[in-house]
Structure 1
């Protein structure tokens, strides 16, 4: 499928990262589907760039497991593999646990209000069946303690592995009501407000670690081998 945006005009210094981000997002939002072949020339033409940043982006995507690159052959969007989702889930859960534990003593009333507002948007989006809005609100809520923790290593690891988990999140939120997530978010905010850093950290860990590792889905792209 075509990439739904262009990066023409992006400064050279930012081009490499911008192409990577656009391709990553196209994979995680389903614009590029599991098993789809990725041709660097076609992608470069769609994005309005040369083939070099596309090739570099595909190499980075292969490193995080979002594409399968076969030297001298084809590059394809990877399937949702159980092990890859499990690995990403474990790492992402641990990073959010760390961020929340550090952040609790730093969160302001404005931060907590921001989290509550994001959870209200999340609940409304689920009620309306708006998956994209639900995912965005969920991201906004969990970004607050990550920002407050101000740990560059945690942020870097989340940036690398959260996209792998995003496809599992899309499956979860598109098939479930998400009511449990709304309540879990509310409990996280309550624990943060009370200053219970370890309780809040455990909540954050469970929120991400409870994501299904793709088992039981009816999506034919999921590979459980």
Structure 2
């Protein structure tokens, strides 16, 4: 998809964080697809911002691995790396399981109502729409992480989430075909029952089974063109 030609409704009023957020959202959604060259001029027209906040935003995106800056050549959207995705999910799975074990007794009635509503969306028609599932899953885990309120733990998902969301959206067809979310249902059910250990174990099952299967599928998909060419 090309960079939008229509200028922003509020040109030159964007702060650098707003510029960053808009480019980030376009990369995560796939509107700015992997490998796409990012032209300063095109971005200026689209965002209605000057070159300075755009370059700052691209530098921040490069720092988290979503943009590649090639000296004296080009700036482009980073390719999706299925191997890195697997490594990130391994770390997140361990962190979430540990946090859930500690935080279940701390959840409020409002937290539990939110989890119930999100689970209903995930296993219902909305969750079956592949585009919705990643956002719902992220929201479920955010309930636990926000209540845990560990600043170090909060930073890691924030850094990983754009990468995770991007690859989930890019391979949403695999999610819709294979995901049952049984382990997520068990995790929330155990949480509502106050069983922190079982909720933590269910979280681990989710990452080891459904996420593991999904990772295997995208690895196979990424290897397929190479195998044909050899």
Q: Name the TM-score, length of structure 1 as normaliser.
A: 0.82
Q: Does 1:216 pair with 2:217?
A: no
Corresponding residue number in structure 2 for 1:64? 64
SS in 2 for 1:177: helix
Deviations 1:157-209 (A, max 9, x none): 11111111112222453233367443222111122123332332233344345
Is the CA contact (8 Å cut-off) linking 1:37 and 1:76 kept in structure 2? yes
5 Å-filtered alignment, 1:75-224, equals: 75-123=75-123, 124-127=125-128, 130-177=129-176, 180-208=179-207, 210-211=211-212, 212-213=214-215, 214-217=218-221
Unpaired stretches in structure 2, ≥5 consecutive residues: none
Task: Please give the alpha-carbon distance, in whole angstroms, between the structure 2 residues aligned to 1:114 and 1:145.
Answer: 11
Displaced runs of 4 or more, over 6 A? 9-12, 218-222
Q: Which residue in 2 is equivalent to 1:17?
A: 17
SS in structure 2 of the partner of residue 132 of structure 1 = coil
Question: Does the residue aligned with 2:76 lie in a helix, a strand or coil?
Answer: strand
- Aligned to 2:176, the other structure's residue is in SS state coil
State the structure with more CA Rg: 2
Question: 2-side partners of 1:113 and 1:60: how far apart?
Answer: 36
- Tell me how many residue pairs correspond in the alignment: 218
CA RMSD of aligned residues (A): 2.9
Q: Who is 1:2 aligned against? A: 3
Q: Secondary structure at the match of 2:68?
A: strand
Unpaired runs of at least 5, structure 1: none
